[in-house]
Amino acid sequence: MVIVYVLTSLGMGGAERQVLALASRMADRGHAVKLMVLRPRIAEQWQTALPVIHLDMRRSPVSVLKGFYRASRFLRGYRPDLIHSHTFHANIVARLLRLFVPAPVVLSTVHNVYEGGPHRMIAYRLTDFLCKRTTAVSAVAAERYIQLKAVPRNKCVVVTNGIETAEFLPNGARRMYMRTRMDVVDKFVWLTAGRLAPAKDIPNLLAAFKTVRATHPDVELWIAGEGKSTGVKRVEGFCVEHGSMDQVRWLGLRRDLPALLDAADSFVLASAWEGMPLAVGEAMSMEKPVVATDVGGVRELMGEAGMLAPPKNPEALAAAMLVLMRSSNEARQKLGRAARVRIEDYFSIEARAQQWESLYRTLFEYHRDRSIAPDG
């Protein structure tokens, strides 16, 4: 098959990383694959060996129109069998392109339980006829979009994220090296990772960590991920307002997440909302015990191999973190091993690629058969 993946950007987020992993698997399986990105290139973005077409769309109407023209011209020449788009803006653009390009199959994916307010849900509803299916990364996300009437139930499918289990594999030597390098040999380290965005609710995490630190002085919290300068200042301001918090390390954007996970003792997620967080699955693959807020598809992902706390409740989050810290090393290791097994059994990227390929073929063959005239 000839497949085009449409993304808003190649920024350092979980959705973008998941799409690149999937696209690479499809190319390895012999499909012709290209990426079409709405926004211009940015300084910090995921690298890929796959061909990428940037539409250079910005906020101005002129650049959007030029982007549509560039996309239409590319698709007419490339003639894909299927367009698979991800997140709101890319989904809407991919759907509208069907008005200008001879009818390829369009498949939309939503990566979060929240992709915007009522106007965006109306946009999804009005353009639904232009796509064959909409998939969601968790059952909770799928149900929410169905209830909002953004997606018809008979056209919605759940396909969860897939984890690179070969890349996210614990390494004892790397753990010792990183802990020595970070000077935390005798400390308990919590790690969180993700874009510094409202959904991640870092203030909730910092408030919880203040309670944890008061009980366990030999503890550190590492925060890895990119964020706008205003977001970083907001976090720093929260730290100053709520105490020195000198045991919080803001690591910024990092490309060595497996090594950081090796060095950490546990992973924590304090999000206010999610789809199915890739970072939690990667931590589980690294045999890390996880404490996370019960949002989006987190419960579906973790099962019994982790601890849940209600969102926007720092007291409950701190209590869960303390329970885990007070557990024995053996108990934490057992939980971590169970987490790895769960990822291998249900959420590996190889199994997910197989599921996507099956869905692609079903949609394409159905579309092809419907397009053949009775005498064809």
Query: Concatenated DSSP letters for 278-290?
Result: HHHHHHHHTT--E
Question: What are the start-end ranges of the H helices in the chain?
Answer: 14-28, 61-78, 88-97, 118-127, 139-147, 172-181, 202-215, 229-241, 257-263, 278-285, 298-302, 314-326, 329-346, 349-371
Q: Are residues 214 and 316 in the same domain?
A: yes
Half-sphere exposure of 318 (CA within 13 A, CB side): 17
Q: Are residues 203 and 334 in the same domain?
A: yes
Q: Are residues 59 and 124 in the same domain?
A: yes
Asked if residue 366 lies in contact with residue 308, where contact means CB atoms within 8 angstroms, the answer is no
Looking up residue 333, the CATH number of its domain turns out to be 3.40.50.2000
Classify residue 301: in a domain, yes or no: yes
- Per the structure, the count of domains in the chain is 2
Structural domain for 120, as ranges = 2-162+349-371
Give the 3-state secondary structure of residue 156.
Answer: strand
Q: Are residues 260 and 366 in the same domain?
A: no
Asked if residue 259 lies in contact with residue 178, where contact means CB atoms within 8 angstroms, the answer is yes
The pTM assigned to this predicted structure is 0.90
Q: Are residues 195 and 139 in the same domain?
A: no
Distance CA 314, CA 322 (A): 12
Distance CA 159, CA 204 (A): 29
Q: Are residues 120 and 220 in the same domain?
A: no
Classify residue 26: in a domain, yes or no: yes
Q: Are residues 150 and 254 in the same domain?
A: no
Per-residue confidence (pLDDT) for residue 229, from 0 to 100? 46
Classify residue 24: in a domain, yes or no: yes
Per-residue confidence (pLDDT) for residue 253, from 0 to 100? 87
Classify residue 147: in a domain, yes or no: yes
State phi, psi for 251 to the nearest 5 degrees.
Answer: -90, -15
Classify residue 100: in a domain, yes or no: yes
Q: Are residues 282 and 194 in the same domain?
A: yes
Q: Are residues 366 and 329 in the same domain?
A: no
Classify residue 376: in a domain, yes or no: no
Q: Are residues 136 and 187 in the same domain?
A: no
Classify residue 184: in a domain, yes or no: yes
pLDDT (tens place) for every residue of the chain, 376 residues total: 999 999 999 987 889 999 999 999 999 999 999 999 999 998 888 899 999 999 999 999 999 999 999 999 999 999 999 999 999 999 999 999 999 998 789 999 999 999 999 999 999 999 999 999 999 999 999 999 999 999 999 999 999 999 999 999 999 999 999 999 999 999 999 999 988 889 999 999 999 999 999 999 999 999 998 865 444 555 555 554 555 567 899 998 898 999 999 999 999 999 999 999 999 999 999 999 999 999 999 999 999 999 999 999 999 999 999 999 999 999 999 999 999 999 999 999 999 999 999 999 999 987 766 665 454 4
Q: Are residues 234 and 353 in the same domain?
A: no
Per-residue confidence (pLDDT) for residue 236, from 0 to 100? 55
Q: Are residues 25 and 130 in the same domain?
A: yes
Classify residue 43: in a domain, yes or no: yes
